Every structure is written in structure tokens, then in C-alpha cells.
Chain A
Amino acid sequence: MGYWSPSGRRELCCVTHGWDLAHLMGSNRAFAPQKYNADYDLSATQSADTLAFVSLLEEKLLPVLIHTFWVDAKNYVEHTRKWYAETIPFPLNFFLPNAMHKRHLERLQLMWGDDYMEDEERLEKELYREARECLTLLSQRLGSQKFFFGDSPASLDALVFSRLAPLLKAKLPNGKLQQHLKSLQNLCNYCTSILSLYFPWDRGDPLTDAPRAAGTDGSEAEEDPHKWRKQLLSVLVGLVAMLGYAFLSGIVSIQRGSVGPASRQPITLEEEEEEEEE
């Protein structure tokens, strides 16, 4: 899930549900440094098209998706925050969603200019219209093909899917954009076919009734073994470090006969350490 991501690219997380994030991150990372080596079979023109459609998505769709998930008051309070609060471990879930909300808000204000605040209504209408247009364009480009460049997937497919699937599957109370996506039949079919092809273990109900299920059975069934191992490891590391420090600095010393004060300290500290490691 997002908060485990090593590169700290939580932005992706904002528009992506946990269940496919790891895979997306992989494909996106392969994107940047190698200059689209996922697109080995594509012709030069098709690679150029990839670049163009990536720009279209980043310019027109991504900011509005961020808005839909993080800034739109109803969606944020009733969906995104709830979902994050349920999935993020204990101490972080109190402030992390809020911090992310603030950062996204700030970012959009910068991207859309300062008059965004003054004329929110108009700009939202304008930008949502552009995002809907972008979805329509994608649908037209896709046509009746299976993938954007014929029968085999390319990096563009991974990117488009990563943007559309969360929007399609999330249960948003305010689904302006979602309604439009659902009306574009070929894009919906495209998402479902990629889901069943490449994410077969996710096919069942869990993802359709996100966010609740995503937090409970959908992802935890998969993450449980890792989670426990990580927790156990972090506790152990913390314990060893603390005991080592305690011994070296002389807070605790082993004296036969008086064990009393030493036994209390490690336990209280251990809890703190465990929280930090999460």
C-alpha cells in the first residue's frame, strides 16, 4: 500500500486503491528511467502517441482526479479519509490523511492559479468539463480495440488503467466524473478486462465494495503474513536496540540480587519504538 512505498510517491496513492498500487508503481517506475522500454513492439509513431496521451492524462485528468478524491469535501470526508483512516496503522491515521489533503489542495491551487479560490465554481465546471472531454477522447481513441495499440498491452495501457480503475470502482458519494466514465461503455469494459486478465485474485466482491472491503478482507488477506513479520521484526529490532543502549550507557546494569528497576523501563519504551517503526 501507499505508505509502504519506498520512493514516497504518495501522490499516486491519492488516485489509486491499494489493491493495484504495487503493480502500478512498478510499471510507472519502469516508465521513467528506461524511456518506455515496456513498449518494445511499438512503432516510432506509436511511441510518440504514447508520450502525447501521457501528457493529455497528466494535464487534464490527473488534477481533476486529485480534486475528486482529495479536495471535493463530500468525497474526501465520506470516502477517502475514511478509507485511509481504516488502512493506515494506528498513530499515523490521525494526521496523515489530513496532511495529504492539505498538500493536494495546495498543489491544485498552484497548478490552477490563485483565482481558483475566488472563482471555485466556474473553474471547477471548466476543469471538470475538460476532464470529461479527456475521458471521451480516450474512449474514442480506444474504439473497439482491446488495448490502445491493438492486441497487446503497452505502458500507456498501464497508465490509463491506473487512472481509470480507481475512479470506476470507488464508491464516491459525489460521482460527477464517475458517472461520465460509466457512460463510456468501452472504457468500462477495458478496465474490467484488464482487471480480470492481470488481477485475477481481485476479481471477487472485495474491490467492488471498496472502501470498506479494501480495508478488511480484500487486502488484509494478502498482506497479513508480511504485516505480522514486519511488526514482529520491528519489535525485535527495537527491543535489541533499546536493551543494547540501556546496557552500554549504564542505565541498566546486571547485578545479582537487584532486578527491580530495570524490568520496568524496557517495556514502556518498547511500545513507543513499535509505533515509530510502523
Chain B
Amino acid sequence: AEPWPENAALYQQLKEEQILLSDNASSLAVQAFLQMCNLPIRVICRANAEYMSPSGKVPFIHVGNQVVSELGPIVQFVKAKGHSLSDGLDEVQKAEMKAYMELVNNMLLTAELYLQWCDDVTVEEITHPRYGSPYPWPLNRILSYQKQWEVRRKMKAIGWAGKTLEQVLEDVDQCCHALSQRLGTQPYFFNKQPTELDALVFGHLFTILTTQLITDELSEKVKNYSNLTAFCRRIEQQYFEGHDKDCSTIAARSSKKSLLR
């Protein structure tokens, strides 16, 4: 394995006042993945992280002289460096792992985006104030509306624009049900060893569980599945508590506090 530089850094938006549910989930998933690989990373918060990222999406990591964004490419990048979590799986398991990762992206991530950009109350109360927080008056509105328009167009393209909040929550429930069934009583999705799927699921579920939104409907859906909440707690204890005090867990917790406002 190639040496991992000490100054490797992960960039995301400001934890306290800016980052949104979906970005926080993605960022936490990457952090969990790197922790599972035992690769130390420093979390750096920048108000313009979204514009710094090569793909326009958060988070991205800066390792040596390379910049990689999003979980999928980061997993490949780390693999090229000689660290992998899924080498022990057979081909069928690898196929299933990829499929479940797409399930999370397809349903949980899209549901988060729907909630924060298409649900009018959430948009007014949480999304716009947070998203535009680093910028002065006219700009914060302009950027927020620009982003909102972009996300809503995408929702239209994938056929989610016509869904109601109830339908979206129903989808989340279906997705959690599938994950819960798959996990069963195992410690991780593929038994003893964590994989990138575990990191991704943890990132999303933990963020959903700890983020206070307008209503609790979303987190209630996850709380119905006790093995999933236990799974989140287990990974939090194993990979985040004590490792670095001021970053990851607090990233998730602080968003809870700041979202309470």
C-alpha cells in the first residue's frame, strides 16, 4: 500500500450554519469510509466548498496533489492506493453491495434532496437561510433560488417532481425496510467486516437520525427499525468516539443543534 500523506484533508461546507442534510450525509459517509480504512483525514470547513469541488459536489478530499470528490470515486482512488474494504467479498456479494449502494443513492439521497428543496416549508425555514448564510443579501437569495431551480429540474427528470411528501416518506420507509431485512442481526451488511456500503448507509441514516427538521417524520421512519439504529450507534462508537474529538460526530451533532433554531 502506498503511504497515506499526513496532511490529507476533506472539505465540506460550514458545519454550524451552512451544511444541508444531504451534503452532511455524503460527507459523513466519506469520513466513515476513511475511518474504516484506518486512513486519518482532517476535516476542513469552507463556505465555498461546493465551488471548490471538481464535480460541484461535496465532499471532496485533497490528498497529496490530487483532488477527488464523492464517495464512489474516492473509494476507487483509495483502492488504487492499496486500501480496500471489499476485497474479501466474492463476486455475488460485490454485485449485491453495489446494488444496495445504488438503492441508498437512488432513494435516501433523492428523498433528502426532495425534502430540502421541494418541500415548501422546509425550503423557507431551513434550506434557504442555511444555504445562503455565508453571502450578503441579494446574493444569498439568488444563489438559493438558482440551486433550488436546478434541483427541481432534476427531480422532474427522474420523475420525482410529482410526488407528494407522503409518497417520498413511503419510499424512505421501503428503502429502510429493505436495508433492515438485509442487515438482519449481523454486525455489518456483509457480516464481520465493514464495507463501503456500511459507510454509506451509516452516513445517511446517522444524519437523518440526528438532524432536527421541521417535523420528525423522516427520522421516525428510520427509528422504526431497531437494528438500523443499533447499527448506527455501533459504527459511531467504534469509528468516531475518541478518534477525533472535534470533527465528525460533532459535525453531525452540531447540525442538529443549529437546525433547531
Contacts and interface: CB of A to CB of B under 8 A. Distances in A.
Interface of A: 35, 44-45, 47-49, 51-53, 55-56, 58-60, 106-107, 110-111, 113, 115, 133-134, 137-138, 140-141, 143
Nearest to B106: A55
Contact of A55 (B56, B107, B182): B107
Contacts of A110: 153-154, 156-157
Contacts of A138: 95
B99 A52 contact: yes
B224 interface: no
Interface in B65-120: 91-92, 94-96, 98-100, 102-103, 105-107
B105 A137 contact: no
B178 A51 contact: yes
Interface in B177-191: 177-179, 181-182, 184
Q: Which 5 A-B pairs have the closest CB atoms?
A: A110-B157, A48-B178, A52-B99, A137-B95, A55-B106
B90 to A, nearest CB: 9
A140 B174 contact: no
A134 B98 CA distance: 9
B1 interface: no
Contacts of A113: 56
Contacts of B100: 52
B91 A140 contact: yes
Nearest to A143: B92
Contact of B95 (A35, A115, A141): A141
A80 B154 CA distance: 26
Given A53-B99, A111-B157, A137 B174 contact: no
A113 B177 CA distance: 31
Q: Is the interface of A mostly helix, strand, loop or mixed?
A: helix
A140 B91 CA distance: 6
Interface in B158-186: 158, 174-175, 177-179, 181-182, 184
Of B91, B99, B102, B154, most buried by chain A (CB within 10 Å of CB) is: B99
Interface of B: 56, 91-92, 94-96, 98-100, 102-103, 105-107, 153-154, 156-158, 174-175, 177-179, 181-182, 184
B133 to A, nearest CB: 24
A137 B95 CA distance: 5
A31 to B, nearest CB: 12
B132 to A, nearest CB: 21
Of B56, B153, B157, B177, most buried by chain A (CB within 10 Å of CB) is: B157
Given A110-B156, A140-B92, A48 B179 contact: yes
B102 A59 contact: yes
B158 A44 contact: no
Of A45, A59, A107, A133, most buried by chain B (CB within 10 Å of CB) is: A59
Contacts of B94: 137, 140
5 contacts: A45-B181, A52-B100, A59-B106, A110-B156, A137-B95
A48 B98 contact: no
Contacts of B178: 47-48, 51-52
Contacts of A48: 177-179, 181-182
B175 A51 contact: yes
A208 to B, nearest CB: 29
A55 B92 contact: no
Given A44-B181, A110-B154, A111-B154, A52 B103 contact: yes
Of A47, A48, A52, A110, most buried by chain B (CB within 10 Å of CB) is: A52
Given A56-B98, A113-B56, A49 B157 contact: no
A126 B95 CA distance: 19
Nearest to A141: B95
A172 to B, nearest CB: 24
B231 to A, nearest CB: 15
A115 B54 CA distance: 11
A113 B57 CA distance: 11
A140 B56 CA distance: 33
Contacts of A107: 157
Contact of A51 (B153, B158, B174, B184): B174
Of B56, B106, B156, B174, most buried by chain A (CB within 10 Å of CB) is: B106
Given A111-B154, A143-B92, A55 B102 contact: yes
